[in-house]
Amino acid sequence: MRRLISITVLLFIQIAFGQDARLQQFIDDALIANRQLEAAKQNAKAQTFLPDRESALPDPVLGYTQWIQPVETRVGPQFNVISLSQKIPFPGKLGT
């Protein structure tokens, strides 16, 4: 009981003689000191410079195949195959 009274008295003293802090002051201090918030702002700013993904073509695909045994074709044996492909969407599918 004595401990509870001591804690209560200390809290009332802190409230009575504490500085008058305003919420806006705390918010301003937090905004100045928060590095993660500044990094998020810079990230959002950088995102505006990226091209829209809806209007860009899909990435091209490079492929490589190596046969264990050569495949016989009419032009001779095939040992390796290198391919490059690009998907092209139907006209009107890409956003402008």
How confident is the model at residue 62, as a pLDDT? 97
The mean pLDDT of 87-95, rounded to a whole number, is 80
Residue 92 has pLDDT above 60, yes or no: yes
Q: Is the pLDDT of residue 96 over 60?
A: no
| Nearest to 68, CA basis, from 56, 60, 80 | 80
- For the chain, the residue count is 96
Specify the pLDDT at position 71: 86
Instruction: Pick 21 or 87 by higher pLDDT.
Output: 87
Q: Which whole number is the average pLDDT over 26-31? A: 80
The domain limits of the chain are 2-85
Q: Retrieve residue 89's tokens.
A: 């969407």
**Tens-digit pLDDT profile for residues 40-86:** 889 998 888 876 667 778 889 999 999 888 888 898 888 998 999 99
Q: What is the pLDDT of residue 55?
A: 74
- Cβ contacts of 96 within 8 Å, gap of 6 or more: 55
Token look-up 């390796």 returns 80
Phi, psi of 52, rounded to the nearest 5 degrees: -65, 135
* CA 13 remoteness from chain centre: 47
C-alpha span between 32 and 41 (Å, rounded): 13
Pairing of strands 61-73, 76-85: antiparallel
